[in-house]
Amino acid sequence: MITSTDPLSLDLALEAELSLRRLARRLDAFWMRLRVEETNIVRVEFEERLQEYWSTLFQLLFELYGSRYDFIYHLECTLEILIEAWVSRDPALQKVDRQRINHPDWFESERIVGGALYVDLFSENLGKLRQCIPYFQELGITYLHLMPLFAVRPGNNDGGYAISNYRSVDPRLGTIDDLKALAADLREAGICLVLDFVFNHTSDDHQWARAAQGGDREFEQYYYIFPNAEIPSQYERTLREIFPAVRRGNFTRHDGMGKYVWTTFNSFQWDLNYSNPSVFNAMLNEMLFIANTGVDILRLDAVAFIWKQMGTSCENLPQAHTLVRAYNLCARIATPGLLFKSEAIVHPDEVVRYIDPMECQISYNPTLMALLWESLATRKTDLLVRSLSHRHRLPSGTAWVNYLRCHDDIGWTFDDADATAIGINAYDHRQFLNAFYTGQFPGSFAHGIPFQHDVKTGDMRISGTLASLAGLEQAIERNDERLKELAIRRMLLLQGLTLSIGGIPLLYMGEEWATLNDYDFVKDPAKAGDTRWVHRPKMRWEYVQELDESMSQDTSLRKRVFRSLQRMIRLRKANPAFAAQEMELMQQPNSHLFAFVRRHLGNQTIVIANFSEDAQTMSGNVLRTFGFGRFFRDQLTDRTIGTSESISIDPLQLMWLVRA
């Protein structure tokens, strides 16, 4: 028999098996060091899962690192990290793991409703956040995303995204034990915990970065560090600039080292070098540590950027997917209840490539987000409909996370070809949307502000809260009751759509109070340069008290938004048609309207949204073709609607129609 050393001709499934067999004795010794006998159920379960996933994991790692002379060494490290993580996992989490292995679609339920917040701005610290659980329950939140809460560098830390230690909580917020206690309380309350895995970069004061700064060659290889600008400028030819207002280009000269470091985001956020298998394992260790604090879902921050290759955009490369799949398999083996959520705010074709049960089970839906705002500005839904008609459907076992605002800016990430297909010039349209949402366009209702305005290209993204972008700030300034009414309707319209369109709705906390922009961020030098802080205000707990008082005008406005949202959440959670993803757009001729049907296990609901400030009609025939019979009940108004004539939809009204 002829054997070859050409990797392409290797039988990788066989090599996987052989490698595991070769490592068996050493792994056995490792188990014994942890005092886990072969017959221990914990070990038996692990080995079953390893059997199931090893071959695939091996092949992915081989793809990334198989050409390294020390591949087998790193494999052994990977396996030890997995064993140790599972063995040290809290039995309460292992119990959840077992349930989720049997119910892998748990996150597709209509009962999942998300909220995201900054611990310091919401409750000051983790201890006090535990006391806020009744608040989440009252609103109906069952998924809680806490913005990065690990130790960060002093000064500007990009809202927690410049992490100096993944194993300690920012002392201002608490300790790892506080985090575990919170996670346990949330679990008890039926709320799942979502944390970031900020794995594209560390802070420049992380111990690995410090070691590199001290000249340690092993740790220099953890990052992309170059002696001079030559190689960086070769990369630069094909790279985008993510933070052009911070610094031109993607590299930063570090004065201490006299060398250039890859910094896609801020200059103090050093991109990790995943072509080095030591980085893969080091970050795997950090990932599983975070998971073991009691996290249900990890948000993979800036996932598009994690692999670099000369001559490419260094975004969305195939190896980035391979890497995430490898991490996903590690999670399947060591922390099987854990899900990944993709944060890829990129072209819609690229967004979906991360979404797969074996990659990221859930993903932000930036295209829907941008197009809902687009429809609000244009009062037309053609681009939204066009885009969703071929982009909403996802593989089974996955889900969209639908949101309107988050801690970041809004970028107009729709597909140019979708725009062209309906006669819209994408470039001009983005200029229009920027002008509209910064309030420059005549008649605009929005008070947003530019983020990362690139003077060279004229590009920008938009910062602002839901309420300010939807017109409430302007309405209050003008003290105009009609404008206030319209702004509130816009907010509830969009929120009702993310609650009903299929997937996990995610509120950015503060939306429930119609929180306005907070311009005070400019007073803090660590924040002044980043306009995203305008939509990161502090929670005002006095609002909660106001709910039960008889009210001033402003209070009643907030109360109305809170109560309406709370009610919509309650209705969503009681309607099984809103589970999972199935969504059929309704063809109808009125381009101010947006209508679709949700179906799940024999339940059906029709959703109709009017994006215009005038009442619109829809023919009863269109509705009847969906076979519900002649009468519907609108769950949101509790009104019964006959379909023998046209139905009328109020300005900016949303309807959830079920069979009467």
- 293 Cβ contact list (under 8 Å, min separation 6): 176, 179, 180, 183, 195
In terms of C-beta density within 10 A (0-12 exposed, 13-18 middle, 19 or more buried), how is residue 379 classed?
middle
CB of 577 to ligand GLC, least distance (A): 32
Residue whose CB is nearest to ligand GLC in the complex, by number: 161
Find the shortest distance in angstroms from Cβ 227 to ligand GLC.
26
The burial of 326, by beta-carbon neighbours within 10 Å (0-12 exposed, 13-18 middle, 19 or more buried), is given as: buried
Q: Does an H or E element contain 399, and which?
A: strand 399-403
Catalytic residue among 343, 356, 374, 415: 343
Tokens of 612: 């215009």
Q: Which two tokens stand for residue 307?
A: 């692999």
For 650, how many CA atoms within 13 A lie in the half-sphere containing its CB? 11
Q: How far is the CB of 402 from ligand GLC (least distance, A)?
A: 17
Residue 367: DSSP 8-state = H
- Least Å distance, CB 118 to ligand GLC, is 11
CB of 200 to ligand GLC, least distance (A): 7
Q: In this structure, which amino acid lies at residue 130?
A: R
| Residue 135: closest CA among 117, 110, 159, 108 | 117
By beta-carbon proximity to ligand GLC, the closer residue of 304 and 488 is 304
Q: Name the β-bridge partners of 355.
A: 360
Least separation in angstroms between CB 160 and ligand GLC: 8
Contact assessment for residue 80 and residue 30, using Cβ atoms and an 8 Å cutoff = yes
**CB closer to ligand GLC, 96 vs 300:** 300
Of the pair 345, 401, the CB lying nearest ligand GLC is at 345
For residue 473, give the amino acid letter: E
d(CA 306, CA 319) in angstroms, rounded, equals: 9
Contact 593, 622 (CB under 8 A): no
Q: Which is nearer to ligand GLC, 178 or 408 (CB)?
A: 408
Which residue from 548, 470, 550 is spatially nearest to 515, judged by alpha carbons? 470
Q: Which of 204, 220, 241, 301 is catalytic?
A: 301
Give the nearer residue to ligand GLC in terms of CB position, either 313 or 588. 313
Using the minimum distance from each CB to ligand GLC, give the nearer residue, 158 or 356.
Answer: 158
Active-site residue 301, yes or no? Answer: yes
Report the C-alpha gap between 123 and 119 in whole angstroms: 6
φ, ψ dihedrals at 222, nearest 5°: -75, -15
Give the SS3 label for residue 253.
Answer: strand
Minimum distance of ligand GLC from residue 410's CB (angstroms): 10
The answer to whether 343 and 302 have CB atoms below 8 angstroms apart is: yes
Q: How far is the CB of 311 from ligand GLC (least distance, A)?
A: 20
Q: To the nearest whole angstrom, how small is the minimum distance from the Cβ of residue 463 to ligand GLC?
A: 9
Residue with tokens 């910062």: 463
Give Cβ neighbours of residue 144 (< 8 Å, ≥ 6 apart): 114, 115, 116, 117, 136, 186, 191, 192, 193, 194
DSSP per position, 46-109: HHHHHHHHHHHHHHHHHHHHTTSTTHHHHHHHHHHHHHHHHHTS-HHHHHHHHHHHH-TTGGGS
With respect to ligand GLC, which residue has the nearer C-beta, 346 or 568? Answer: 346
Binding residues (CB under 6 A) for ligand GLC: these are 158-159, 161, 198, 242, 265, 301-302, 304, 343, 345-346, 407-409, 411
Q: Supply 443's token pair.
A: 């008649």
Which residues participate in catalysis according to the annotation?
301, 343
